[in-house]
Structure 1
């Protein structure tokens, strides 16, 4: 058998340059330039992409080091990863944290979960025929989730499938709960061993303060077309094409195993109360299933996060998961409540979600309707 030909000199450099030019062009197309830390991350991604392409040409068994992009919310981590992902042109798979666990649990049905075979089968399926796994919003707050993540990382290393990860947390800050953090230290050390840790730490949140002349460039245009509405008068809702459904339209949905009473479920629109959606035993799997079915969501009777005990800690965490899912799936979201519906506040004890800053950044993409029913005053408030 003739051995595979070696790439011509400069091929890897040229491949990296092409990828880098592509990411810079994507930024320019959205009206901004990569800031310093974004540029450094893009250069590392471009070099990684060239290594992956070279590996396929030469049939090399050696995988390049994975990449762990981290930094504060809204600094462009996901945008940069998605720009790179779109231009890589190889066998890739992109998963979001919540969707990863849905796929993981879906893959265990009908298999032997007692000895771990089911979990391993599901992870193997996720990595099958994949040159690179892209993992968005990587975080660990639950020790059980941490065990699944550890197995994914171990299997990816064994199968030589590199990862590109985005996270709001540096590796040392994963699983921050002091009761469990020490148990996760071996996995944290493994992450630092197998991945290049790259921080994106620009000085501003691009979701809140886009660069002058830039377009949204987020890829979440439907989500960003939603609105936060307070107090939710008929006039406010009517001007947005929303009308409170009568009691006769109530239905019971069972997206997975948990029944949810909704106020309306037209072919494209789901209208549900905060308490029904977040106050019971619903799970992220329920939210993902509903997101597959409805492209517009209205959540009403949303309590004010600035009022202590307005909702329980589990309810606020479920709300955080809802926002995560709807943002990632690019679902249009309307939130209605008496207010003040302001998530730019410090966490109160253990009531509000751990990832409050990320949720506040995402909800900042939504417009606002407030004050009263006066069209002129409302237009001024929402501008």
Structure 2
């Protein structure tokens, strides 16, 4: 990992170096017990606020560790795959379908990596708990990154108790490593020549990019719904925010379209507080997927990203790390999911 950082021209800070040490110890355990038929459950849960380099560190570890087969999944991809396997036939899933789907996901895997481990509702909690219990029973090592401390997962007070057993399992079985620090590295300016993936995209005002002609409008079909893209040609997928986020799209739709189109345009992005709660959450999920899949995306709005996202809860006067953890806030005082989106949008070139 240190070699990868050096080769990339990066200097790791003190907190990141501590995480590297923890990952190295975890990796030694994984290698020592690889192939054992009766492994003890193990894992490493790396958590911290947005932009601290959790995914970069975990990806560097995952690429370097000499164990096969290993599997990396963003948490949205995990849910998409389980849902696809559960509902592959007509009608409701048959008895035991979840166990079968998890069996297929873990078949022969020596190391599983979950990026952006987070939970938003009872369905998330049920699937994640089943998966964690199965991993522990099989002794499959799990590496997970998250913006949430284990006890802060599923923050909605209506559902929080549903994952209490999952929290206890993580804290009992995993090495929990907090990645502290106050620097959001995504907000540091990048030269255009080193930009890649999502960071090659831009946030720009209307009128700079020619709009599609009406006859370019295309119907996309998914999950029994029809969605209207302003353009869906060989090179580019273009949606208005309203059609993409106010319609019943899912993270699974974004994942499928991201595989087909590597350049997107999302037009007429409004202030999120003016949208339905469902549209707000879809936009946050969309940014997660586009960033993880490295999709070059142009966002068009009369507003800046800060204006689009403003309106979140502010931290109390203490403004300390403990305060942010208690409220589920990022470095900028936004709720963690919104703060994560703000951090990722900071990667984009601004043409305002």
The CA distance in 2 between the partners of 1:177 and 1:318, in whole Å, is 17
Unaligned 5+ runs, structure 1: 1-22, 238-242, 371-383
Whether the aligned pair in 2 keeps the contact of 1:255 and 1:289 (CA below 8 Å) is no
Whether the aligned pair in 2 keeps the contact of 1:171 and 1:188 (CA below 8 Å) is yes
**What root-mean-square deviation, in Å, do the aligned CA atoms of Structure 1 and Structure 2 show?**
2.2
Q: 1:365 aligns with which of 339, 347, 350?
A: 347
After superposition, the Cα gap between the structure-2 partners of 1:122 and 1:60, relative to the gap in structure 1 and judged at 3 Å, is closer
TM-score by length of 2: 0.88
The CA distance in 1 between the partners of 2:158 and 2:217, in whole Å, is 43
Deviation at 1:193, TM superposition (A): 0.8
TM-score by length of 1: 0.81
What stretches of structure 1 move > 4 A for 4+ residues in a row?
111-116
The 5 A counterparts of 1:1-383 are 23-56=1-34, 59=36, 61-63=38-40, 65-90=42-67, 91-108=69-86, 109-110=88-89, 116-209=95-188, 221-230=196-205, 232-233=206-207, 236-237=208-209, 243-305=210-272, 308-309=273-274, 311-342=275-306, 343=308, 345-347=310-312, 355-370=337-352
After superposition, the Cα gap between the structure-2 partners of 1:173 and 1:63, relative to the gap in structure 1 and judged at 3 Å, is same
Deviation at 1:64, TM superposition (A): 5.8
Whether the aligned pair in 1 keeps the contact of 2:42 and 2:136 (CA below 8 Å) is no
Unaligned 5+ runs, structure 2: 315-333
Deviation at 1:344, TM superposition (A): 5.9
The CA distance in 2 between the partners of 1:199 and 1:259, in whole Å, is 43
Deviations 1:62-119 (A, max 9, x none): 2462100000001010000000000112121000010001110111213995565111
Deviations 1:32-58 (A, max 9, x none): 22212211111111122122222237x
- Equivalent residue pairs, number: 329
SS of residue paired to 2:118: coil
Whether the aligned pair in 2 keeps the contact of 1:250 and 1:263 (CA below 8 Å) is yes
- The structure, 1 or 2, with the larger RCO (C-alpha pairs under 8 Å, 6+ apart) is 2
SS of residue paired to 2:97: helix
